[in-house]
Amino acid sequence: MINNLNKIPEHIAIIMDGNGRWAEEQGKERIFGHQNGVNAVRNAMEAAGEAGIKFLTLYAFSTENWNRPKEEIDALMGLLVKAIHAETDNLMQNNVRLQTIGNITSLPEDCQKELQTAMDITKDNTGLTVILALSYSGRWEIVNAIKMMVQNNVTVDDITENSFKNYLNTKNIPDPDMLIRTGREQRISNFLLWQIAYSELFFPDILWPDFTKQDLVDLIAQYQTRQRRFGKTGKQIY
């Protein structure tokens, strides 16, 4: 149960790790873990919406994931299309808006089409915004931002933190208050490198398919016990 409603994070980002290992521990193929990971996505979205979170970013597929075996990639892309199609009605019922970040044009055409359809259908929803990071990496995003600045003839004197942020995929999204990584690993894995400079980090000992609504509630409760400081001034929110 979340007791302090004044300390609800605005934005939670999650590295959804552990699908493959979860499947292997059950003697199944890796795709079985990804299939069950969809249930954990639903759990996270429902818990975030009920808690009053405004933004939930899910690291669904990294640029490095393109190096996985083709069979696994094809299965993941097929699962993505199926999951988005199946969940669109649920997004509408729960007033959830869907957005994406990443090199979306590198995804298969059917994935792009399904994503765009879901985003168009949910664009006017006013509750939780779910952001899928697809074909995404933090380094790619930063390099891409620099390229766009060069193309727009931005001068050295015009480069500031605020102007740079306007060229990131997340330009209209607040930085995450919390970063959660499941999977029993404690790495950032090239995710939101610019945006998580002052995020609170959490590494629960959970493989992603086992992630429940209560797990997110418990992590938010942990977040509420932390004192957030920003830099050498010791600025503190609470």
Tokens 């970063």 locate to: 179
Could you give phi then psi for residue 185, rounded to 5 degrees?
-120, 155
Write phi, then psi, for 154 (nearest 5 degrees): -70, 130
Give counts: helices (H), strands (E), the chain: 7, 8
Residue 161, helix vs strand vs coil: helix
Of the candidates 191, 99, 180, the one whose C-alpha atom is nearest the C-alpha of residue 137 is 191
From the list 3, 39, 65, 95, the catalytic residue is 65
For the question of residue 210 being annotated catalytic, the response is no
> H or E stretch including 137?
none
Residue 153 designated active-site: no
**Catalytic, out of 3, 4, 6, 17:** 17
State the catalytic residues: 17, 65
